[in-house]
Structure 1
Amino acid sequence: MSRRVKWLLRLLVAALAVNVAALVLLTTGRLPMMPSSGTWVRTGTVLIGGPFTLTATDGRTVTDQTYRGKWLLIYFGYTFCPDACPTALNNMSIALQTLGAEADRIQPLFITVDPKRDTRQVVASYLESFDPRFVGLVGTEAQTDAIIKTYRLYVEPQKESGDTYLVAHSTYVYLMNPDGVFVDVIDGGTPGDQMADAVRKLINEHST
């Protein structure tokens, strides 16, 4: 078996475990012992989210307060991600288009978990392939570490050689209400039309 095939097999196994680890971190703060399945995940009421300060791709400093009054769809990933991130962002783009005018209430965010490589310029260029409503946010390593803890993300760099590496990470889309309160997560692999249905249902259930 070639080195590349072995590497791809390790990546596949890691990817299968990431979301399980992420879900348990969301709900308990501990890594799991047993796997589970499902694309639309209800987590109940847990302490997720909170204050953050990051930089948008246009250079503006933004905080969690910047987006008050909007429902947030947040995806945490990185631009060198080979499959999970482009899949999730494409599904989110389709969901936004499917929602039509309902999407006017929603602000989609892409927040990098790889601050070493993902500069503002890199993220801005990357997002050109997806819905133009996406806002890309980057931070320093300290700011990124803080938001990883605040949102209970699973993030684990997988070192290979030199500056080439992948990052195993949570692949959930986070829905936050207009007051910045966590509502739920949806698997990033959920097809766009189904994601739109899930978002619509959650917003209707949690609207006051």
Structure 2
Amino acid sequence: MPTQLNERRSASRISLHNRRQKPMFTREWSIPAILTIFLLGVCGLIAYFTWSLIPPATAAENQMGGPFNLIDDRGQPITEQTLKGHPSLIYFGYTHCPDVCPTTLFEMAGWFKTLGPEADRLKAYFFSVNPERDTAEVMHKYTGNFTDRITGITGDPAEMQKAVKAWRIYAKKVPSPGGDYTMDHTASVLLVDTSGNLRGLIAYGEDNGVALQKIRNLLK
């Protein structure tokens, strides 16, 4: 009986010893695992050095707006300096626009009406992306259909193109049947602060309550 007990104890020690001596990785999968870890490390180093070499965006790259010389709907000179000293709503469109532009200007008129005295310092500008057709007289008549708080801006096409590029507006002439054309263009309203810097956007069709809150934030 003692002999059997000793044999069992010896077998138990041998089994425990074998378990302790068993390698963590077997030959069948240790090499692929090591290669995977190595490759992940290399990829991590490449990603780190790649991103570290990309310079951060500078203030100049994020800046919008720039010099231009245009006229308002009464024929008075307008430059980029006109946009400073007060908060502004800026919209780029054209008077022959079938739906987006009149809808947006109608909404802008509604914002002024709702805000009332809150919007005394606020100004709105409607830049024409089709100045060849939209003369000062045409712009004045068009904006007057909505409210007298919106100033139409037009002028030399080359100067208007400067404003379009400065504010990163998309505008493209699209031919239509019969030799006529329409204009594809950015449909958002730009929210510009007293320093002439972009503070945000009101998207076309945005909820009216959200739009009003954005304007109130601009006025603070």
Distance in 1 (alpha carbons) for counterparts of 2:208 and 2:155: 28
Alignment counterpart, residue 202 of structure 2, candidates 186, 189, 205? 186
Query: What's the % identity of the aligned pairs?
Result: 36
| Counterpart for residue 162 of structure 2 | 146
Post-superposition Cα deviations, 1:143-170, rounded to whole Å, max 9, x if no partner, equal 1111111010111111014552110100
Q: 1:176 to 1:67 in 2, by over 3 A?
A: same
Q: Is the 8 A contact 2:71 2:78 kept in 1?
A: yes
Distance in 1 (alpha carbons) for counterparts of 2:103 and 2:208: 10
Q: Which has the higher contact order (CA 8 A, sep 6+)?
A: 1
Q: Which has the higher helix share?
A: 2
Which residue identity is paired with 1:143? E
How do residues 117-196 of structure 1 correspond to structure 2 at under 5 angstroms? Answer: 117-196=133-212
Q: Is the 8 A contact 2:89 2:191 kept in 1?
A: yes
1:105 aligns to what SS in structure 2? coil
1:197 paired to 2:213: yes
Greater Rg by CA: 2
Runs of 4 or more above 6 Å deviation: none
Distance in 1 (alpha carbons) for counterparts of 2:185 and 2:218: 24
Aligned residues, how many?
161
Gaps in structure 1 of 5+ consecutive residues: 1-27, 29-44
Which residue identity is paired with 1:132? D
Q: Which has the higher strand share?
A: 1
How do residues 50-129 of structure 1 correspond to structure 2 at under 5 angstroms? Answer: 50-129=66-145
Q: 1:174 to 1:188 in 2, by over 3 A?
A: same
2:214 aligns to what SS in structure 1? helix
Q: 1:155 to 1:141 in 2, by over 3 A?
A: same
